[in-house]
A and B are shown apart, each in its own frame.
Chain A
Amino acid sequence: MTENLLEVRNLTKYFPVYGGVLRRVQGWVKAVDNVSFTVRRGECLGLVGESGCGKTTVGRAVLKLIPATSGQVLFEGRDVFSLQGPDLKALRHDMQIVFQDPYSSLDPRMPIGESIAEGLKAHGMRSARQRQEAATEMLRKVGLEAYHARRYPHEFSGGQRQRIGIARALAMQPKFIVCDEPVSALDVSIQAQVLNILRDLQQDFNLTYLFIAHNLSVVEHISDRVAVMYLGKLVEMADRETLYRSPQHPYTQALMSAIPIPEPDLKREHIVLGGEVPSPLRPPAGCRFHTRCPLAFDRCRTEEPPLLDLGNEHMVACHLRQPPPIDA
């Protein structure tokens, strides 16, 4: 059960910034910088962080939807970045993605049945009838009806569109789905519907998820393990219970205490972080969080803390959290 389905090793993605009259490269946005993690078969790994922390870039680079600058991604032992042509196409069967924006993720000029079966067509399912049947089956799986297949995206609500997006990914019968903020654009009542569907499907099809979100409560609800990113770096990673019960990185702690909880009598101590997230164009030296960290000291400003295992696979990148000494 603990077999690794996906292994991400030292993933790095820099985006060039053009400027000047000649549109030369003037700098690099260090969106993702040396990130490593694994996703085990059948689990849901939550990836949280605030906007601009690089979580979406990780999701897309893992699927080779955008080229990575360096690093390696292994899916069932296959090196994703080196795959080309038919091998890459075959990989598309196994790895899928669900997008955040239910409005831009569906082609407004295409009936949704065709959108759902688009992948099957690309992979050689010739018969239109077969494709239609497959689309209908997927629609039912996400709580929609067969007659919806002929309709266009503009006729659906946000929640329904998100179900359609899930059906499209599901039609490929993937093993692994990157869920890129699949519920952040939805209202709470609709969000709950979609989260429940995602969870049911995970069980029914033995799916593995990389669940990207900025909402820690949502991630807690759906994930088995959780990784926290800040400014292109992984700062903490642990199983859900450990992370939420005893977050170790000062950023994770602040993030959790910043979330307003729907419980008026709850008196919590708020850790309000000062300042803003620095620009990923010029990330701070040393620990990238030191500019806002309430506990920062000299070493944090010069030396970057490595991601270390505190025991029980609780990984933290902070100078103040050192693994227990190894007994001889």
Chain B
Amino acid sequence: MNDITFDEISQRAEAITTPVRSPWAVVLRRLARHRSAQMGSVLILFFVLVAVLAPIVYPYNAIVDSNPVNRLKPPSAAHLFGTDSLGRDILVRIAHGARISLGVGVLSVLLAAVVGVLLGLIAGQAGGWLDNLLMRGMDILMAVPDLLLAIVIVAIRGPGLGNALLAISVVTVPGYARLARSMAISLRENDFIMAARSLGVSTSEILRTHILPNSLSPIIVQFTLGVASAILEMAALGFLGLGQQPPWPEWGAMLSDSAKFLGAGAWWALTFPGLAIMLSVLGFNLLGDGLRDVLDPRLKR
């Protein structure tokens, strides 16, 4: 500061001494301190861990081989969650079922998000007849209750895991398309988009570098909450026998199997798969709420 004059100093902006913090880093820091996000993350992490470890700890045949001697045994040291009507260990089946529920949940929503966001951005950017065509299509999809539509799709294409996944994706797409479209339209009013245009940046480049990254916050929130409802829908399809086919363990299918034996007092066969569905859905919902809180206040200095 000694060999430059005050006037020179006065032309400079002051120094910044804090470490570089990207907007995402700021969000992560806030998220780490958010109570319900913490709980949600712990739950999700737990189920992910279970899903990853299940095939390592329990061999494949443990979930499919029936064992009539052990049918409908209440929880004990040997079978912590008891056994089902075919004498299979429920704990093992739930652990393997986590692979299906989480996998399908994440995959179907991911597929829906990619397709929906793409359609939404195109509609929002193009406007006019294309926008109208795409969004009216989405409106029609949204006019039918999600589960009903999913059932119709599976009924047409036949039951099975792949078709269930596809059905869940299709019913989820409109939400993302609407969200992405409204983000594209509201962001378009921002001066930084105008600035990019004045610099000669092409429309596709503006979509990629400005509009998409700035739309991500609400999309991530909706994605997280979307996984929760996808797990529920998967369970519902499974319960109706339209999802994963036996002998594979799927939480919804396990519920419907066990429901028949509730009268016989086999509460455990119903309770534990139900708890698994509830807790995993709760986990994603809690994380989604946390993300919404953290991402919602606009990033200010």
Contact = CB atoms under 8 A, between A and B. Distances in A.
Interface of A: 60, 63, 65, 88-89, 92-93, 95-97, 99-101, 104-111, 115, 118-119, 121-123, 142-145, 148, 150-152, 154-157, 159-160, 163, 165, 168, 172, 193, 196-197, 200
A162 to B, nearest CB: 10
B12 A99 contact: no
A155 B191 contact: no
B200 interface: yes
A100 B213 CA distance: 23
B140 interface: no
A107 B12 contact: no
9 contacts: A65-B198, A92-B199, A110-B210, A122-B202, A142-B13, A144-B12, A155-B16, A160-B13, A193-B10
Nearest to B300: A154
Given A109-B214, A142-B13, A159-B13, 18 more contacts: A95-B198, A97-B195, A97-B198, A104-B191, A106-B192, A108-B299, A122-B202, A123-B200, A145-B15, A152-B21, A155-B18, A156-B16, A157-B13, A163-B13, A168-B195, A193-B10, A193-B11, A200-B11
Nearest to A197: B11
A298 to B, nearest CB: 43
B21 to A, nearest CB: 7
B26 to A, nearest CB: 7
A207 to B, nearest CB: 15
A154 B16 CA distance: 12
A301 to B, nearest CB: 38
A106 B210 CA distance: 10
A119 B13 contact: no
A115 B18 CA distance: 21
A159 to B, nearest CB: 7
Contacts of B191: 99-101, 104-105
Given A152-B22, A154-B23, A155-B18, A107 B198 contact: no
Contacts of B20: 150-152, 155
B29 interface: no
B136 interface: no
A92 B200 contact: yes
A99 B195 contact: yes
A122 B199 contact: yes
Nearest to B9: A143
Contact of B198 (A63, A144, A159, A163): A63
B205 to A, nearest CB: 7
B33 to A, nearest CB: 18
